[in-house]
Structure 1
Amino acid sequence: MTQATATLPAKSNKDSGVAYRVLGAISVSHLLNDMMQSVLLALYPVLKGNFSLSFAQIGVITLAFQFSSSLLQPLIGAFTDRRPKPYSLPIGMGFTLIGLLLLSQAWNFASIVVAATLIGMGSSVFHPESSRVARMASAGQHGLAQSIFQVGGNIGSSLGPLLVALIIVPFGQGSVAWVSLAALAAMLILIRVSRWYAANLNTVRGRSTLGRTETGLSRRQVQAALGILLVLVFSKYFYLAGLNSYLTFYLMQRFALSVQNAQYCLFVFLFAVAVGTVVGGPVGDRIGRKRVIWGSIVGTAPFALLLPYANLFWTIALVFVIGLIIASAFSAILVYAQELVPGKTGMISGLFFGLAFGMAGVGAAALGSLADATSIEFVYQVCSFLPLLGLTAFMLPERHPKKAAA
């Protein structure tokens, strides 16, 4: 944690400007949060070996983790839209801390599932409220703010495999306890963020960025657009579930890589996701979110279709390109959805983060069962067609929201 973050003042930014220090702090918190979550995913080969788990059981672990956050996030978001709870951020991180400590000492499959559930519960509190903080700090540059917030999470996700490769694989499952120190650091940062959040809720900044805007769309158009966005989230995260949960197994089985080398390849993919996230939000602010959404998801399709037939070099190159392109969509999708339902930032953020995690959980469980029944190579052949669902993005209406009169 940097000195600047540790001394974050409650009113260090003018109401008219982007609160970059707050965005930086919440992005660092997101980095730590998602790094801890990705340790669980990257730990799968170790857990599979230690407890003789099947691919279906790996899918159940992912399902427990994703559903404990996805089911709770929209409810927490809807509640905090009505009654904001700034200090829920460090409290939620406490669930992650407990889950990591339990994971480090897990003795059977059931205890792993409980640990995964606790880690997911921490995420269920973090994402809706931190999205509200990012929007409040944006000063109208919502795509930029979401990208800064999201890139922290993506960088954190990319660090998980490195921690597993460099620390947990050599020193064993018990070394996961050291990762829990990141949860303590995140709690300290979030206490400072919570003070700024509480101090600005009822200021001009808070009322203008979290208030209502005129959408210019009918209720039916809003509902149809939300439905299309949900299809896009399904396409994106069901496909990503195959890469996040099973890429290491795919590389180990098809190319006979070691666990460590497979983890490094997973890092390449997750790092590309982090880079792509930086682009999507600001570009959406400039050229329109619809163009970013369809360009991102549909643009992934040709590379996804090639992936199952590539050699090792081109597999690594393709997963990098896929991560780079597909990652630019989520910030644009989330901000687009927030503008469709103004004044419900927490609920929409919780719904879409929750749906993303839920789709990843369902995808991991379904693809794990399919891999057990067929092969991991067949799973990648089936998944390669999912990005084609991105064609539905062409039906999204153009959005040019205007602030409602005070």
Structure 2
Amino acid sequence: MRRNTSITLLSIGHACIDVYQGAVAALVPFFVAERAYDYATVSGMVLAASLLSSFVQPLFGALTDRWTMPWLLPVSTLLGGVGIALSGLSGSYGLTLAFVALSGIGVAAYHPESARLARLASEGSHNAMAWFSTGGNLGFALAPLMVAAAMAAGGLRSTPLLVLPALAGAVLCLPVLRALARRHATAAVAAPVGENDVGSFVRLSLAVVYRSIAFVGLSTFIALHAQQTLGSTAAGTAALFVLYLGGAFGSVLGGALAARWGRVTVSRWSYLAAIAAIAGVVFVPGPALYLFVAATSAGLYIPFSLQITLGQDYLPSRIGTAGGVTLGLTVSIGGLASPLIGALADHTTLRTALAPLILMPALSWLFFRTLPEPTPPSIPETTPDPATPPA
């Protein structure tokens, strides 16, 4: 199987699993409308999807550094889909949280192993990794549309329809797993040669955490904020779609810009732009909101794929852990701040509660100022299987 084919299939699979990260936020307005949940209650759902994911993700990263577990891709994809599919069927808030948490565990299990396999399939190409990241961003972008379509069919009772992306993602990853197994290259390329820079990796991780707080906070409440600003449910769905869709373009643009100016430099400028963009989202009224949402999405997503490869280059002997942290754990941690935003919104206004998010990309920028541009580690050559013809 050609490299581009493998990356394409992995990218589509990544989109299928990340639908379920985006689906939680997309379901928030429907839980508010049908079950009269307040801001703090619905933000607890985002917390349920993020909390277990945050704790479980390092475990899966460490396991994939020690053993290859490609079977995690189809299994975790199905787990993520089943959790969301069941979330709307019970009127019990406790069961809803449990199903959303189940989906979060599936998402957590997927990312470390998928990042390792994507690096293997990409043969170390940063641009290929950018396309892999873009697949996940497209999944985020499509989530509001899929949720809206499912809700139009029958409200929260129609959430079982949302299992369809999981079924597709589980099937599409199988040819890639078989191709990589036939090449007998997994163990050899999973451990690039290079020195670990733990200090830089920790600073990078903290930068990604603050980026995650900004993004998850906005994705949780941007639909409600747009509804209040523009006066319709459709306006909220559109704002969430723009926030997610901009990420797909941002990741690809980030890879192109980094080829000329370097990953660290491009990330610094992106976070500076995100500060002004988030301020516009919070304070600028009227339809101009969509322009600032698009700018925010680009500013937060241009560094996204760059951070994945930076983490793997800072921690070359633990790329499963690096991928799990930069692609999964730090993203999930952003959900931990959502209940605080919801509680503040209940006691003040939603605009006031969103205002602190303006500071988050500024903190990410400060950490990026301390980061060096690493040299990508060399990947040891492998002896091809005599039974496998050269590509």
Distance 2:326 2:377 in 1: 23
- Output aligned runs, 1:228-377, within 5 Å: 228-256=203-231, 258-377=232-351
The 8 Å contact of residues 213 and 342 in structure 1, kept in 2 or not, is answered as: yes
Distance verdict in 2 for CA 1:198–1:343, change over 3 Å: farther
Per the TM alignment, residue 405 of structure 1 is displaced from its structure 2 partner at its CA by: 7.0
The 8 Å contact of residues 161 and 267 in structure 1, kept in 2 or not, is answered as: yes
Q: How many aligned residue pairs are there? A: 380
Number of the residue aligned with 1:198: 181
The answer on 1:214 being equivalent to 2:188 is no
Number of the residue aligned with 2:170: 187
**What TM-score do you get using the length of structure 2 for normalisation?**
0.91
Per the TM alignment, residue 282 of structure 1 is displaced from its structure 2 partner at its CA by: 4.1
Which residue, 86, 100, 105 being the options, matches 2:89?
A: 105
Per the TM alignment, residue 271 of structure 1 is displaced from its structure 2 partner at its CA by: 0.8
Once structures 1 and 2 are overlaid, which stretch shifts more, 277-286 or 180-189? 277-286
Per the TM alignment, residue 303 of structure 1 is displaced from its structure 2 partner at its CA by: 2.1
The answer on 1:168 being equivalent to 2:167 is no
Once structures 1 and 2 are overlaid, which stretch shifts more, 82-91 or 279-288? 279-288
Distance 1:292 1:318 in 2: 20
**What TM-score do you get using the length of structure 1 for normalisation?**
0.88
Distance 2:324 2:379 in 1: 24
Distance verdict in 2 for CA 1:138–1:43, change over 3 Å: same
1:151 maps to a residue whose letter is T
C-alpha RMSD of matched pairs (Å): 1.9
Number of the residue aligned with 1:8: none
Number of the residue aligned with 2:121: 137
- Output aligned runs, 1:22-33, within 5 Å: 22-33=6-17
Which residue, 83, 93, 102 being the options, matches 2:77?
A: 93
The 8 Å contact of residues 150 and 161 in structure 2, kept in 1 or not, is answered as: no
Distance 1:55 1:404 in 2: 48
Once structures 1 and 2 are overlaid, which stretch shifts more, 309-318 or 98-107? 98-107
Distance verdict in 2 for CA 1:57–1:152, change over 3 Å: same
Identity %: 26
Distance 1:53 1:404 in 2: 51
Q: Structure 2: any 5+ residue segments left out of the alignment? A: 382-391
Distance 1:78 1:136 in 2: 17
Distance 2:287 2:233 in 1: 17
- Output aligned runs, 1:11-26, within 5 Å: 12-13=1-2, 19-26=3-10
The answer on 1:396 being equivalent to 2:371 is yes
Partner deviation per Cα, 1:315-340 (whole Å, 9 max, x = no partner): 11111011012201121112111111
Distance 1:350 1:404 in 2: 20
The 8 Å contact of residues 73 and 353 in structure 1, kept in 2 or not, is answered as: no
Distance verdict in 2 for CA 1:97–1:394, change over 3 Å: closer
Which residue, 110, 118, 124 being the options, matches 2:102?
A: 118
Distance 1:134 1:197 in 2: 11
The 8 Å contact of residues 89 and 194 in structure 1, kept in 2 or not, is answered as: no
The answer on 1:60 being equivalent to 2:40 is no
Once structures 1 and 2 are overlaid, which stretch shifts more, 302-311 or 104-113? 302-311
Distance 2:348 2:30 in 1: 22
Distance 2:199 2:206 in 1: 11
1:394 maps to a residue whose letter is R
2:188 maps to a residue whose letter is R
Partner deviation per Cα, 1:149-187 (whole Å, 9 max, x = no partner): 111111111111112333314521122211212211111
Please give the secondary structure, in 1, of the residue aligned with 2:258.
helix
Number of the residue aligned with 1:380: 354
Distance verdict in 2 for CA 1:355–1:342, change over 3 Å: same
Please give the secondary structure, in 1, of the residue aligned with 2:329.
helix
1:300 maps to a residue whose letter is A
Once structures 1 and 2 are overlaid, which stretch shifts more, 349-358 or 72-81? 349-358
1:246 maps to a residue whose letter is F
Number of the residue aligned with 1:227: 202
Per the TM alignment, residue 404 of structure 1 is displaced from its structure 2 partner at its CA by: 7.0
The 8 Å contact of residues 39 and 160 in structure 1, kept in 2 or not, is answered as: yes
The 8 Å contact of residues 210 and 361 in structure 2, kept in 1 or not, is answered as: yes
Once structures 1 and 2 are overlaid, which stretch shifts more, 390-399 or 110-119? 390-399
Once structures 1 and 2 are overlaid, which stretch shifts more, 286-295 or 360-369? 286-295
Q: Structure 1: any 5+ residue segments left out of the alignment? A: 1-11, 14-18
